[in-house]
Amino acid sequence: MMGFVTFDDEADQYLCAEVLRPGNVTAASGAVGILRRLMALIRNSFPKARIRVRLDGGFSNPELLKFLDDEPGVEYVVAIASNAVLERKAEEAMQYARVLAGVTDHTEHVYGEATYAAGTWKQQRRVIIKAEVVCGEGKEPKDNPRFMVTNMKQTPQWLYENIYCQRGEIDNRIKELHALEIDRTSCSRFWANQFGVLLTAAAYVLMQELRLQAALTDCARAQVWTLRGRLLKLGARVVLSVRRVVVHLPQSFPFMAVFRTIAMGLGASPGQDPNYLHTNIHFA
């Protein structure tokens, strides 16, 4: 289970939780404990922050929704699976979407909302409906209704498109973690695999820090495999002394400007020779 945090309208999603779980547990297993700790950390660091939680459909269990409802000042949007009751509530919007798709011959969607309480819920909640008809070339139109539960008050279309659909970019972060081989959990003991997962997560956080320092370069939005190929897989001569580490880079290094920008952002300083950097190490 992976957790990411974003701030305001920033584009970056920062990895903040990475937990390996047994394969025979539900998607929401342990989620309440992780959220409780993350919220405490956020509130301690940013006392005035408003917290918004966005979760995939596997997390819509009664315990987790009750936890979110009980947390003061927390907004949430959580996808929920379709069922016969929800499909009946969405039928009017689906009929309209079918008409639109028949006229335009393109994928169409209509937004709506309803109140709903699953059998395991103790209260009704607001459910956002996305009634979608998918049209593909040479294929019959296909109904694709989607649902999410929320305690937010904005319009259904705004909530779905501007809040819930932001999760799509996080899929790219997950791909990057797989590029760092976070799924190599071949040890015979669970805790050894969890430790390996945490080490990979720590490496990814370092890669994210490199990307932040590259904000004004052409590596500002580079994926981790691009950062690794351009900035880390290179030949250099490293000279150590009592007070500093000097990195001599080859004159033919094509990404020298980006490397220098990132290194200096992390505390290095340029030397007299434009092809090397040195960083001072202080002991207290």
What would the pLDDT profile of 13-69 be if each residue is shown by its tens digit? Answer: 899 999 998 888 888 888 999 999 999 999 999 999 999 999 988 888 899 999 999
Are both 183 and 242 inside the same structural domain?
Answer: no
Q: Percent of the chain having pLDDT more than 70?
A: 95
The answer to whether position 249 is within a domain reads yes
The answer to whether position 52 is within a domain reads yes
For position 284, what pLDDT does the model report? 31
Are both 201 and 261 inside the same structural domain?
Answer: no
Three-class SS string for the chain?
CEEEECCCCCCCCEEEEECCCCCCCCCCCCHHHHHHHHHHHHHHHCCCCCEEEEECHHHCCHHHHHHHHHCCCEEEEEEECCCHHHHHHHHHHHHHHHHHHHHHCCCEEEEEEEEECCCCCCCCEEEEEEEEEECCCCCCCEECCEEEEECCCCCHHHHHHHHHHHHHHHHHHHHHHHHCCCCCCCCCCHHHHHHHHHHHHHHHHHHHHHHHHCCCCCCCCCCHHHHHHHHHCCCCEEEECCCEEEEECCCCCCCHHHHHHHHHHCCCEECCCCCEEEEECCCC
Are both 171 and 276 inside the same structural domain?
Answer: no
Are both 183 and 238 inside the same structural domain?
Answer: no
For position 275, what pLDDT does the model report? 53
Asked whether the predicted pLDDT for residue 107 surpasses 60, the reply is yes
The residue range of the domain holding 55 is: 2-80+166-213
Strand partners, 158: none
Q: How many domains does the chain have?
A: 2
Report the mean per-residue pLDDT for the chain.
88
Are both 203 and 241 inside the same structural domain?
Answer: no
Against a cut of 0.85, is the pTM above it?
no
> How many other C-beta atoms are found inside a 10 Å radius of the C-beta of residue 33?
11
The answer to whether position 101 is within a domain reads no
Asked whether the predicted pLDDT for residue 119 surpasses 70, the reply is yes
For position 276, what pLDDT does the model report? 54
The answer to whether position 189 is within a domain reads yes
The answer to whether position 226 is within a domain reads no
**Range ranked top by mean pLDDT from 155-159, 186-190, 213-217:** 155-159
For position 250, what pLDDT does the model report? 82
The answer to whether position 247 is within a domain reads yes
pLDDT, mean of residues 237-266: 85
The answer to whether position 31 is within a domain reads yes
Please write the tens of the pLDDT for every residue from 274-283: 555 554 433 3
The answer to whether position 208 is within a domain reads yes
